[in-house]
Amino acid sequence: MLTNHKTLRRRFKALHRNLRGASMAARALASTDHPLLAHIIPIRRCNLACTYCNEFDDFSKPVPTDEMFRRIDKLGALGTAVVTISGGEPLLHPELDDVITRIRHNGMIAGLITNGYLLVAERIQRLNRAGLEWLQISIDNVNPDEVSKKSLKVLDRKLELLAEHADFHVNINSVVGSGIRYPQDALTIGKRAVELGFSSTIGIIHDGSGQLQPLGEEERRIYHEMQALEKSSFTRINAFQDNIAQGKPNDWRCRAGARYLYICEDGLVHYCSQQRGYPGVPLANYTREDLRREFVTEKSCAPHCTVSCVHQVSVFDAWRAPQHPAVPTLAAAPSDLVQIE
């Protein structure tokens, strides 16, 4: 049970997050010369092996902390608003708390995407002290199966610990689409998230190039029911998914490489986790000229893209700066199923 002191502290921190977010949104509207969101990978290794995922391995070593600091400082110098740490499983990095603190020292909002398996009360409290501001866990099913072990049955106790100890915002993402056996599980997961005081979102499974996989009738029904649970979500800018649910393309201007950066464990900037190799420039050498070039570069994968984080940041610039085709055009990516960010 939360004490009055803890409740007040959380409300104050939430108010502070919202004010910072509003300030960064205003800055984003005023200037296009800085990234709004960067995903950075401190370790590619994961303690799980979900069959749809192409974003992990079982052997990679952590990126050295000094190198992570240099990359974080570079993102700060570029004026990045939000840095989300992803993987692999980022909690496997032995000095992750220091990386989070470095993000905050650069004035950026610090987020974390984790499978949740390594969370215990002491670890959550360390994340509080490091300055983490939001965390997301994707839960794929109610009971583990051969596709995914990220199940509510396994993770429910972790969610209870977060509800008790976390001072940061928690979002629980559930999924529907190809590879998910029981789409109704998404509703069970979403309702449990709201019950615990978290926000809840739903994603749509895409293929290995981040492309559209239309939903069936039952999946569409679940998807629309889940939308009602997303009213207070900090990632509610998901209207693009309405078309995806019906198998329709979206007409939008993808600002990947400019407003959104994906930095892999090798320190290279990519459009997103599903379009690695483009532009493929080391972050250390990335300049405002690169940001400006990619801001007006049309991405051929955009119409059928389901990578929600890129859609969300691109909304800020939907009304300006027409784009032009890239040269060369994007190469085809693998067709294995993977989960959205």
Residue reference for tokens 């995806």: 244
Q: What is the pLDDT of residue 323?
A: 95
Report the alpha-carbon angle 136-124-148, nearest 5. 45
Strands (E), 212-339: 260-263, 268-270, 279-282, 297-298, 324-325
Gyration radius of the chain's alpha carbons: 19
> Taking 50 as the threshold, does the pLDDT of residue 99 lie above it?
yes
Spatial separation of the C-alpha atoms in residues 35 and 28, rounded to whole Å: 9
As a whole number, mean pLDDT of residues 239-247 equals 76
Q: What is the pLDDT of residue 221?
A: 81
> Taking 70 as the threshold, does the pLDDT of residue 59 lie above it?
yes
> Taking 50 as the threshold, does the pLDDT of residue 108 lie above it?
yes
pLDDT tens, residue by residue, 126-171: 999 999 999 999 999 999 988 888 999 999 999 999 999 999 999 9
- Tell me how crowded residue 298 is: count the other CB atoms within 10 A of its CB: 13
Which long-range CB contacts under 8 A does 57-62 form with residues at least 24 apart?
57/88, 60/88, 60/265, 62/92, 62/93, 62/94, 62/95
Cα torsion 14, 15, 21, 26 to 10°: value is 170
Which residues are registered as beta bridge partners of 83? 38, 110
Decide: helix, strand or coil at residue 307: coil
Give the model's confidence band at 328: pLDDT under 50 very low, under 70 low, under 90 confident, else very high: low
DSSP-assigned letter for residue 179: T
Q: Which among 131, 226, 247 has a CA at the least distance from the CA of 178?
A: 247
The length of the chain is 341
Give the model's confidence band at 340: pLDDT under 50 very low, under 70 low, under 90 confident, else very high: very low
> Taking 80 as the threshold, does the pLDDT of residue 200 lie above it?
yes
Decide: helix, strand or coil at residue 190: helix
Side-by-side strand order, sheet with 82-85: 199-204, 169-176, 134-138, 109-114, 82-85, 37-40, 260-263, 268-270, 279-282
Chain mean pLDDT for the chain: 87
| Contact yes or no for 39/90 (Cβ under 8 A) | no
As a whole number, mean pLDDT of residues 106-120 equals 97
Spatial separation of the C-alpha atoms in residues 104 and 137, rounded to whole Å: 21
In a 13 Å sphere around the CA of 229, the CA atoms on its Cβ side amount to 27
Amino acid at 159: L
Q: What is the pLDDT of residue 75?
A: 98
Lowest average pLDDT, out of 22-31, 154-163, 207-216, 277-286, goes to 207-216
Lowest average pLDDT, out of 96-105, 260-269, 270-279, goes to 270-279
> Taking 80 as the threshold, does the pLDDT of residue 341 lie above it?
no
> Taking 90 as the threshold, does the pLDDT of residue 267 lie above it?
yes
What are the residue ranges spanned by the domains of the chain? 4-325
Q: What is the pLDDT of residue 337?
A: 35
* Token output for 121: 């009360």
Which residues are registered as beta bridge partners of 338? 206
> Taking 50 as the threshold, does the pLDDT of residue 297 lie above it?
yes
As a whole number, mean pLDDT of residues 23-29 equals 92
Say which residues have a Cβ less than 8 Å from residue 297's Cβ, sequence separation at least 6. 257, 323, 324, 325, 326
Decide: helix, strand or coil at residue 174: strand
Spatial separation of the C-alpha atoms in residues 91 and 113, rounded to whole Å: 9
Lowest average pLDDT, out of 37-41, 107-111, 210-214, 331-335, goes to 331-335
> Taking 50 as the threshold, does the pLDDT of residue 120 lie above it?
yes
Spatial separation of the C-alpha atoms in residues 264 and 282, rounded to whole Å: 10
As a whole number, mean pLDDT of residues 284-290 equals 97
Q: What is the pLDDT of residue 235?
A: 46
* Token output for 197: 């005081």
Spatial separation of the C-alpha atoms in residues 314 and 264, rounded to whole Å: 21
> Taking 90 as the threshold, does the pLDDT of residue 338 lie above it?
no
> Taking 90 as the threshold, does the pLDDT of residue 205 lie above it?
no
Q: Quote the percentage of the chain above a pLDDT of 90.
A: 62
3-state class percentages of the chain: helix first, strand second, coil last, to nearest 5: 40, 15, 45
> Taking 90 as the threshold, does the pLDDT of residue 38 lie above it?
yes
CATH code, 4-325? 3.20.20.70
As a whole number, mean pLDDT of residues 67-93 equals 97
Give the model's confidence band at 339: pLDDT under 50 very low, under 70 low, under 90 confident, else very high: very low
Q: Quote the percentage of the chain above a pLDDT of 70.
A: 88
